[in-house]
Amino acid sequence: MGSYDVIFYILSIVSLGAALGVIFFPSPIYSALMLAITMSGLAAMFFTLEAYFLAGVQLIVYAGAVVVLFVMVLMLFDLRKESQPFSGQKISNFFKAGIIAAASMALIIPLSTVFFIRTEKTKPVTTVDLAGTLFTKYVFAFEAIGILLLVVLVGALALAKSRGGTHE
């Protein structure tokens, strides 16, 4: 087990723990902050795999922008803290699901350490390669996603305007 493996396991524990925290924290703010830690952990993992561009984009887009917006909106709405993460009848079902998930994890993790996880480095993909593929081979899909995002943006604006809002 080399030093990269040690870092990989630390990062996995942090990311998985934070991901569980997203679900189990009763306070929505803590959940959102945990989501930010999960995203940063994933970015750090990409970093150790020398996928620097992906790591950076993961940080900028998810941890730096999307989750910041989540946190900001949650803080604005001042949601009340729930007394417990799950309530009523559902708890037993969720508990069962949790036990099944934990059991399968307990199986998968030891197996995957033996068979699947390869933390050694592959040939690093440069940004130039990435941009080349994006703007030649997948240019149609790229543009289509751009149009989709534009439609979402216009739709969100239209929805926000129809209720009146704070500006006229």
Partner 1 sequence: MGADKVEIAINTVKIAIIFLMMIQMVPLLVWLERRGSAFIQNRFGPNRVGPLGLMQLLADAVKFITKEQFVPANAVKFLFLAAPVIALVPAALAFAAIPLATPIHIDPFHLLGQSWGPYTIEMQSVRMNVGIIYILGVSSLGAYGLLIAGWASGNKYSLLGAIRASAQMISYELALGLAIVGILMIYGTFDLNKMIEMQQGPFSFQFMGQAYEISWLPNWGIFFQPLGALLFFIATFAESNRLPFDLPESEGELVAGFHTEYGGFKMLMFFMGEYGHMMVGAGLVTTFYLGGFQSPFVWQTYDYMLNLAIAHHGPGTVASALTTGYFLIWFSIKVGLLLWVFIWVRWTLPRFRYDTLMDLGWKTLLPWTLGNVALTAIVLYWARAM
Q: Which residues bind partner 1 (CB under 8 A)?
A: 29, 33, 36, 40, 43, 52-53, 55-60, 63-65, 68-69, 71-72, 75-76, 124, 126-127
Report in angstroms the alpha-carbon separations of 44 from 38, 41, 111: 10, 5, 24
Least distance (Å) from partner 1 to the CB of residue 14?
Answer: 15
The nearer residue to partner 1, 99 or 134, going by C-beta atoms, is 134
Which residue number, 107 or 157, has a Cβ lying nearer to partner 1? Answer: 157
DSSP element (H, E) containing 67: helix 67-77
Which residue, 95 or 142, is less far from partner 1 as judged by CB?
A: 142
Nearer to partner 1 among residue 20 and residue 71 (C-beta): 71
CB of 65 to partner 1, least distance (A): 6
| The two three-digit tokens of residue 57, written as one number | 């984009």
Minimum CB–partner distance for residue 63 and partner 1 (Å): 6
CA dist 150 → 25, 39, 104, 159, 161 (Å): 34, 25, 40, 14, 16
Token pair of 114, please? 């033996």
Smaller CB distance to partner 1: residue 16 or 130? 130
Tell me the closest approach of the beta carbon of residue 95 to partner 1, in angstroms. Answer: 27
The span from the CA of 2 to the CA of 52, in Å, is 21
Cα distance between residue 84 and residue 77, in whole Å: 19
How far apart are CB 48 and partner 1 at their closest, in Å? Answer: 12
Q: What are the start-end ranges of the E strands in 40-86?
A: none
